[in-house]
């Protein structure tokens, strides 16, 4: 039975408000009765009962993922799009530096994690393109904007380094 997350959310909300039968509400929204029962009876967590379908804990903490996603966006805004390999290297380095115990092989996420991470944070894959001579004309204003972007990037790097170092014991700094 195919159903949307929105239909499931509406079914859960309707059940909570009306407290009708699982069967009638499930058929009203086109969701399996057992799925509706699981979502209603499940323990709510930070993301709510709907978003994490398998109820597995994520490999990284939410704040870790947000820092990494912001780093990727800042790099792209500064004109340095992050490749998949660079992103995986960064995550691996960060986890190893923090001595975090994870279920990952050598603290390196797999390609499937990468795809889901990009979806969760609405990040697209960007690659540098070769510019034709007309587009490659650089003005003084372009250079000033680039310098400001680099300055903002280094501010972010400082924050990321401070964040990563906050995981380490003081004697290892």
Q: Residues 67-90: pLDDT tens digits?
A: 888 888 888 888 788 888 988 898
* Domain range annotation of the chain: 5-51, 62-172
pTM of the model: 0.46
Q: What is the pLDDT of residue 50?
A: 41
Question: pLDDT digit string (tens) for 3-14?
Answer: 888 888 888 888
DSSP string, 27-75: HHHT--HHHHHHHHHSPP-TTHHHHSTT-PPPSS-HHHHHHHHHHHHHH
Distance CA 72, CA 77 (A): 9
Domain 5-51 bears CATH identifier 1.10.3470: no
């Amino acid at each position: 039975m195919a159903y949307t997350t929105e239909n499931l959310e509406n079914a859960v909300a309707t059940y909570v408000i009306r407290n009708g039968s699982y069967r009638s509400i499930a058929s009203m929204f086109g969701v399996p009765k057992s799925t509706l029962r699981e979502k209603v009876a499940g323990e709510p967590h930070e993301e709510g009962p709907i978003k994490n379908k398998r109820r597995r804990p994520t490999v990284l903490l939410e704040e870790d993922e947000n820092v990494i996603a912001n780093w990727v966006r800042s790099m792209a805004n500064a004109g340095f799009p992050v490749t998949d390999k660079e992103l995986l290297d960064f995550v691996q380095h960060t986890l190893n530096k923090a001595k975090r115990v994870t279920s990952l092989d050598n603290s390196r996420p797999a390609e499937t994690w990468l795809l889901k991470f990009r979806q969760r944070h609405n990040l697209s894959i960007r690659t540098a393109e070769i510019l034709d001579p007309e587009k490659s004309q650089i003005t003084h204003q372009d250079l000033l904007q680039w310098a400001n972007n680099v300055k903002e990037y280094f501010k972010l790097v400082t924050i990321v380094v401070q964040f990563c170092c906050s995981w380490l014991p003081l004697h290892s700094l």
